[in-house]
């Protein structure tokens, strides 16, 4: 899901996970209504919010134990899974430090692990690569590809990094001021904009009618 | 070639707003964060009016309401002290088993009031500090081109705004009330330096202890040993509360003891007593004449009192100077983190969802002194009243009454603070709302905390009185008979919070931030928890046998539980909290 700042990406994702009720229309997640069947929907979804807002007084171990408890996960299975991710993200040393004392990147990793813990059918990630170091960005890209390949699962995520979206996503949705102005595979979007070899960035700027606006803004700033 | 750029006029230094103006802006942001907690992940409901001025005004109003309630407690402390200066109480001490000289009595009451104000303001400061630090306002100002001195002043002003209402209440009402009680304007005015010193020392103590906790508690690692150590430190956090309880509970005994000491050790010990804690309390006596002042204010005593009072003044001056820079320094302080070279391995131990809520709250409280205090206060109450049975209940028969009183007040306090346990949810609650957590699990988890506090407090009282309780089973019967009533009250409070949150379309964590909301939820809770206890007291008064009284008490409590279980467990919109 792509969109300018304030286009409605995060609000859409919050509606998908049941944090916000839609002002108009309806949301259906894997056939369930997050407003009418919140618990059922939340069992199927793993979510990483835009900001790593967590219980700061807890340690990663305590936080993940809380998530695993609420999700009713098996101790042995969840421990093995958590260990794999903790090792992959290289945060063993920080595992017993309060979250308040950790960097934004490490907190983001904890949130990602929390979302993967129950191996949900749908992962909803709001700008998941923010704050991550290059190694972790690469790791996440590989993990997401592998995750989708392993089963009937989906990942819905928002990003500002066109290159990541173009490389990873089977389908791209482009939001502009609360409206979906384009949606489909790269080929669909190229056809929609009549641009045969366009990059996702060019398609995005064309669909949101921002291309000329960018140059105008640069010209205006040149005089400052 | 001369580079093109902005004119000289546009580069003129911009005037930095005054420290007061900056502090007001910072304080408004702090109020906003304290009420809406958007930085902690809360979201505003779709129906919330998005007019920034309106939201800010609402935040300001809610914080003002909270400060008003806190100030009311100061008014009650002052009012209580004034009562003890009425002829009725004076007579009790003047003609008691060990007669207290009138000047010593009045001096003790005033000194006691000052100590209570110190403890109370210290406690208020400690409770406010997490809000002050968590709002992260000062770090934002640090990035702006504001002179260091002005930033120091802004930090001090913002900190002071947190407990300005109770401080100003103490500063204005104490001299007025004492002047009225002594029928002397001068006597009232002479207590003013004492109150001022108390306010400064309370601010200093708040910051000093707050600093200790930021460094040693907030960054503490996970693990059982570390948790035990943290709770031990948090007990220190509750020292001012302990002081208030102790002084209020044992006030009569303290005065009686001092009277005895004034007779038996008039020399060195007497002088020591003049140094602590009485010099500030004795100051108003200089404005009096007649029997109220004679006796103590003679010769060497006057010199001792004057020197000790000057010492306290000097100390306050030093603290005031330290306070000029300390709040800003505190805002930049980071927790000391112990990094382990030997990780403990990744083994997670999930529990039931309701137990996870309880565990999370206890873990959060163990690193958040403000929340720990809410848990510790009912326990402190149990310790103080349990201990008072040794002084206030010389006959074993009355031990039961005091033990029952200890357990009853603990139950009421636990219920009183019930909605406050939702404040812990503000942190990270937007994330928790994306987990498949039912309202029922939340209800059971939060109620478990209230029940846990009650049971631990009961165990403390049993431990303190076990050797003196004639019939232990009576006490156990009382504890068990009240338990369903307590759970019913917890269910009612939490059920009300959920229903109101549902109706208002806001997260339940926001429900605990409005003082009036809390009051309308807490009062019915207290009534339900108190009803079985009141029934027991009435039946005992009319001479009904203990067994019949316990049966009636337990019956009412069980009926309450049945009714409010239906109310709470049938919560609408499960999982939407």
pLDDT for residue B171: 94
d(CA B462, CA B486): 19
Report the pLDDT value the prediction gives residue B226, as an integer from 0 to 100. Answer: 83
Based on the domain organization, do B402 and B289 belong to the same domain?
no
Beta sheet of A45-48, edge-to-edge order = A45-48, A122-126, A154-158
For residue B576, pLDDT over 60 is answered with no
Cα–Cα distance for residue pair B399/B404, rounded to 1 Å: 8
pLDDT bucket at A87, cuts 50 / 70 / 90:
very high
pLDDT(B269) > 70: no
Chain B hits for A87, CB-CB cut-off 8 Å, are 346
Separation of alpha carbons A206 and A185, rounded Å: 16
d(CA B322, CA B325): 6
Give me the pLDDT at residue B4, please. 45
Mean pLDDT of B540-546: 88
For B129-173, the pLDDT digits (tens) are 877 777 778 888 888 888 888 999 999 998 888 878 999 999 999
> What pLDDT digit, counting tens, does each position of A193-203 carry?
887 788 888 88
Residue B279 to residue B160: CA distance in whole angstroms = 26
A24: domain CATH number?
3.40.50.300
Query: Given a cut of 60, is residue B294 above it in pLDDT?
Result: no
Identify all chain B residues contacting A78, using CB atoms and an 8 Å cutoff: 348, 350
pLDDT at B2: 45
CB-based contacts of A212: which residues, under 8 Å, 6+ apart? none
Question: Do residue A75 and residue B335 have CB atoms under 8 angstroms apart?
Answer: no
What's residue B355's pLDDT?
A: 95
Give the H/E segment covering residue A124: strand A122-126
Task: Examine residue B277 and say whether the peptide bond preceding it is cis (omega within 30 degrees of 0).
Answer: yes
Taking the Cβ of residue B427 and every Cβ of chain A, the question of whether any pair is shorter than 8 Å is answered with yes
For chain A, say whether B368 makes contact (Cβ under 8 Å). yes
Q: Which of B359, B432, B438 sits opposite A39 (nearest CB)?
A: B438
Domain count, chain B: 2
Choose the most confident range, by mean pLDDT, from A151-155, B219-223, B261-265, B313-317: B313-317
- B positions 252-311 inside 8 Å of A (CB): none
Verify that B331 and B463 share a domain, yes or no.
no
Q: Is the pLDDT of residue B534 over 50?
A: yes
DSSP letter at B338 equals -
Give the integer Cα–Cα distance in Å for B410 and B392. 18
Nearest CA among B444, B475, B484, B468 for reference residue B574: B444
Across the A:B interface, residue pairs with CB atoms under 8 Å apart total 163
Report if residue B133 sits inside a domain: yes
User: Across the interface, which of B43, B427, B505 has its CB nearest the CB of A55?
Assistant: B427
Per-residue pLDDT, B303: 80
Check if the beta carbon of residue B194 is closer than 8 Å to that of residue B59.
Answer: no
Say whether B219 and A21 touch across the interface (CB within 8 A).
no
**pLDDT given at position B176:** 94
User: Roughly what angle, to the nearest 10 degrees, separates helices B369-392 and B239-264?
Assistant: 30
Q: What's the predicted TM-score (pTM) here?
A: 0.79
**Shared domain check, B308 and B184:** yes
Q: What is the pLDDT of residues A11-68, one digit of tens each?
A: 899 899 888 888 888 899 999 998 888 889 999 999 998 876 788 889 999 999 999 9
Q: Would an 8 Å CB–CB cutoff place B43 in contact with chain A?
A: yes
- Tell whether the model's pLDDT for residue B501 goes beyond 80: no
Instruction: Looking at the structure, tell me whether residues B316 and B392 fall in a common domain.
Output: no
B312 and B363 assigned to the same domain: no
Confidence of residue A156 (pLDDT cuts 50, 70, 90): very high
Please answer yes or no on whether A71 and B339 come within 8 Å at the CB atom: no
Q: Which of A48, A65, A70 to mutate to test the interface with B (most CBs of B within 10 A)?
A: A70
Does the pLDDT value for residue B295 go beyond 80? no
Residues of B in contact with A54 (CB under 8 A): 41, 427-428, 431
Give chain A positions within 8 Å (CB) of B365: 57
- Would you state the pLDDT for residue B333? 78
Is residue A104's pLDDT more than 70?
A: yes
Same domain, B266 and B135: yes
Q: Give tens-digit pLDDT for B318-362.
A: 999 999 999 988 888 777 777 767 778 889 999 999 999 999 989
Selection from A164, A110, A43, A47 nearest residue B348 by Cα = A110
Q: For residue A8, what is the DSSP state?
A: S
Q: In percent, how much of chain B has pLDDT > 70? A: 78
Total domains, chain A: 1
HEC letters along B372-409: HHHHHHHHHHHHHHHHHHHHHCCCHHHHHHHHHHHHHH
Euclidean distance between CA atoms B42 and B431, whole angstroms: 9
Residues B161, B105, single domain; the answer is: yes
Q: Measure Cα distances from B516 to B63, B64, B414, B489, B511 in Å.
A: 11, 11, 18, 18, 10
Q: Are residues B330 and B375 in the same domain?
A: no
Q: Judged by CB atoms within 8 Å, which residues 157-216 of A form the interface with B?
A: none
- The pLDDT mean for chain A works out to 89
Is A75 close to B573, i.e. CB distance below 8 A? no
- The answer to whether residue B373 sits within a structural domain is yes
Q: Using the beta-carbon criterion (under 8 Å), do B575 and A39 form an inter-chain contact?
A: yes
Chain A partners of B227 at a C-beta cutoff of 8 Å? none
Tell me, yes or no, whether B157 and B28 share the same domain: yes
Enumerate residues 6+ apart whose C-beta is below 8 A from B234.
B217, B365, B366, B369, B372, B373, B376
Range of the domain at B499: 358-577
Long-range CB contacts for residues B367-370, cutoff 8 Å, separation at least 24? B367/A57, B367/A98, B367/B217, B367/B218, B367/B220, B367/B230, B368/A57, B368/B130, B368/B218, B368/B424, B369/B126, B369/B129, B369/B130, B369/B210, B369/B213, B369/B217, B369/B234, B369/B237, B370/B126, B370/B127, B370/B129, B370/B130, B370/B131
pLDDT at B124 over 90: no
Please give the mean pLDDT across all residues of chain B.
80
Q: Is residue B2 part of a domain?
A: no
Task: Find out whether A93 and B343 touch, Cβ atoms under 8 Å.
Answer: yes
* Closest A-chain CA to B359: A66
The count of residues in chain B is 577
The shortest C-alpha distance from B38 to chain A (Å) reads 10
Please, which residues have CB within 8 angstroms of residue B545's CB and are 6 or more apart in sequence? none
Q: Please list, in sequence order, all residues whose beta carbon lies within 8 angstroms of the beta carbon of residue B61, skipping any fewer than 6 positions away.
A: none
Give a yes or no: residue B8 inside a domain.
no
A28-42, B160-174, B259-273, B517-531: least confidently modelled range: B259-273
Kind of pairing, strands A2-3 and A172-176? parallel
> Which string of DSSP letters, residue by residue, matches B473-524?
HHHHHHHHHHHHHHHHHHHHHHHHHHHHHHHHTS-GGGGGS-HHHHHHHHHH
With CB atoms and an 8 Å threshold, state whether B43 touches A19. yes
DSSP B2: P
Q: B347 lies in a domain? A: no
Predicted pLDDT at B575: 44
Across the range A157-184, mean pLDDT stands at 89
Determine whether the interchain pair B43/A64 forms a contact, defined as Cβ–Cβ distance below 8 Å: no
In Å, what is the CA distance from A172 to each residue of A5, A184, B263, B564? 17, 5, 89, 50
β-bridge partners, A158 = A126
CA B536/CA B555 separation, integer angstroms: 11
Portion 72-131 of A in contact with B at CB < 8 A: 72-75, 78-79, 82-83, 86-87, 92-98, 100-101, 111
Examine the domain organization and report whether B97 and B56 are in the same domain: yes
Q: Please give, rounded to a whole number of angstroms, the shortest distance from the CA of A167 to a CA of chain B.
A: 28
- pLDDT at residue A78, as a whole number: 95
What secondary structure does DSSP assign to B352-366, as a single string? -HHHHHHHHHHHHHH
Domain span at residue A61?
A: 2-222
The Cα of B218 is separated from the nearest Cα of chain A by a number of Å equal to 7
Give a yes or no: residue B9 inside a domain. Answer: no
Give the β-pairing of A45-48 and A154-158: unpaired
pLDDT digits (tens, 9 = 90+) for B226-252: 888 888 888 877 777 777 777 777 776
Q: How confident is the model at residue B510 (pLDDT cuts 50, 70, 90)?
A: low
| Shared domain check, B230 and B88 | yes
Residue B104 in domain: yes
Inter-chain CB proximity B367 and A61 less than 8 Å: no
Residues B295 and B377 in one domain: no
Comparing alpha-carbon positions, the chain B residue that sits nearest to A59 is B222
d(CA A155, CA A122): 6
In a domain, B115, yes or no: yes
Nearest to B288 by CA among B116, B93, B112, B105: B105
Residue A173: strand, helix, or coil: strand
């Amino acid at each position: 899901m792509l969109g300018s700042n304030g286009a409605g990406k995060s609000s859409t994702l919050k509606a998908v996970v049941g944090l916000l009720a839609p002002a108009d229309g309806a949301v259906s997640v894997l056939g369930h209504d997050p407003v009418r069947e919140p618990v059922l929907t939340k069992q199927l979804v793993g979510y990483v919010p835009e900001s790593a807002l967590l219980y700061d007084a807890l340690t990663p171990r305590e936080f993940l134990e809380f998530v695993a408890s609420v999700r009713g996960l098996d101790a042995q299975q969840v421990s093995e899974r958590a260990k794999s991710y903790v090792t992959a993200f290289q945060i063993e040393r920080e595992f017993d430090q309060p979250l308040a004392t950790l960097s934004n990147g490490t907190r983001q990793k904890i949130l990602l692990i929390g979302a993967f813990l129950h191996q949900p059918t749908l992962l909803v990630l709001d700008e998941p690569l923010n704050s991550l170091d290059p190694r972790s960005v690469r790791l996440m890209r590989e993990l997401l590809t592998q995750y989708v390949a392993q089963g009937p699962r989906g990942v819905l995520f928002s990003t500002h990094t066109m290159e990541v979206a173009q490389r990873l996503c089977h389908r791209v949705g482009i939001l502009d001021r609360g409206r979906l102005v384009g949606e489909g595979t790269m080929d669909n979007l190229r056809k929609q904009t009549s641009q045969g070899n366009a990059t996702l960035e060019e398609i995005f700027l064309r669909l949101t009618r921002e291309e000329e606006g960018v140059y105008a803004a640069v010209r205006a700033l040149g005089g400052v | 070639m001369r580079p093109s750029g902005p004119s000289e006029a546009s580069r003129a230094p911009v005037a930095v707003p005054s420290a007061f103006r900056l502090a007001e802006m910072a304080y408004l942001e702090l109020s906003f964060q304290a009420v809406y907690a958007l930085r902690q992940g809360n979201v505003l409901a779709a129906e919330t009016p998005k007019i920034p001025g309106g939201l800010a005004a609402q935040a300001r109003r809610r914080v003002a309401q909270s400060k008003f309630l806190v100030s009311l407690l100061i008014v009650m402390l002052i009012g209580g002290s004034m009562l003890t200066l009425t002829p009725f109480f004076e007579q009790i001490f003047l003609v008691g088993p060990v007669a207290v000289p009138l000047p010593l009595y009045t001096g003790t009451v005033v000194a006691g009031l000052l100590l209570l104000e110190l403890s109370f303001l210290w406690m208020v400061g400690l409770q406010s500090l997490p809000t002050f630090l968590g709002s992260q306002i000062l770090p934002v100002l640090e990035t702006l081109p504001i002179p260091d001195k002005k930033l120091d002043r802004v930090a001090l002003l913002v900190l002071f705004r947190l407990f300005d209402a109770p401080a100003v209440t103490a500063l204005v009402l104490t001299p007025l009330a004492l002047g009225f009680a002594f029928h002397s304007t001068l006597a009232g005015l002479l207590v003013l330096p004492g109150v001022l010193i108390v306010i400064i020392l309370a601010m200093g103590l708040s910051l000093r202890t707050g600093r200790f906790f930021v460094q040693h508690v907030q960054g503490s690692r996970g693990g059982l040993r570390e948790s035990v150590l943290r709770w031990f430190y948090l007990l220190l956090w509750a020292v001012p509360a302990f002081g208030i309880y102790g002084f209020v509970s044992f006030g009569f005994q303290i005065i009686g003891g001092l009277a005895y000491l004034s007779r038996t050790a008039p020399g060195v010990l007497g002088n020591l007593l003049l140094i602590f804690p009485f010099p500030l309390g004795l100051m108003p006596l200089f404005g009096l004449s007649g029997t109220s002042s004679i006796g103590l204010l003679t010769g060497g005593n006057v010199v001792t009192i004057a020197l000790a009072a000057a010492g306290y003044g000097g100390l306050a001056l030093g603290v005031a100077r330290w306070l000029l820079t300390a709040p800003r320094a505190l805002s930049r302080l980071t927790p000391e983190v112990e990094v382990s070279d030997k990780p403990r391995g990744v083994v997670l131990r999930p529990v039931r969802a309701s137990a996870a809520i309880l565990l999370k709250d206890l873990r959060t409280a163990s690193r958040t002194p403000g929340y720990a205090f809410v848990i510790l206060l009912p326990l402190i109450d149990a310790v103080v009243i349990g201990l008072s049975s040794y002084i206030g209940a010389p006959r074993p028969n009355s031990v039961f009454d005091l033990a029952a009183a200890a357990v009853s007040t603990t139950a009421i306090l636990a219920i009183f603070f019930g909605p406050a346990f939702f404040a812990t949810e503000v942190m990270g609650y937007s994330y928790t709302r994306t987990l498949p957590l039912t309202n029922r699990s939340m209800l059971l988890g939060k109620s478990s905390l209230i029940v846990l506090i009650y049971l631990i407090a009961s165990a403390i009282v049993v431990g303190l009185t076990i050797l003196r309780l004639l019939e232990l089973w009576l006490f156990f019967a009382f504890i068990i008979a009240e338990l369903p009533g307590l759970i019913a009250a917890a269910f009612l409070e939490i059920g009300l919070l959920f229903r109101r949150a549902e109706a208002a379309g806001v997260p339940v964590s926001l429900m605990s931030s409005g003082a009036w909301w809390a009051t309308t939820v807490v009062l019915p809770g207290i009534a339900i928890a108190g009803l079985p206890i009141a029934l027991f007291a009435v039946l005992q008064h009319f001479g009904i046998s203990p067994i019949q009284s316990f049966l009636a008490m337990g019956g009412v409590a069980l009926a309450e539980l049945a009714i409010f279980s239906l109310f709470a467990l049938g919560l609408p919109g499960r999982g939407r909290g």
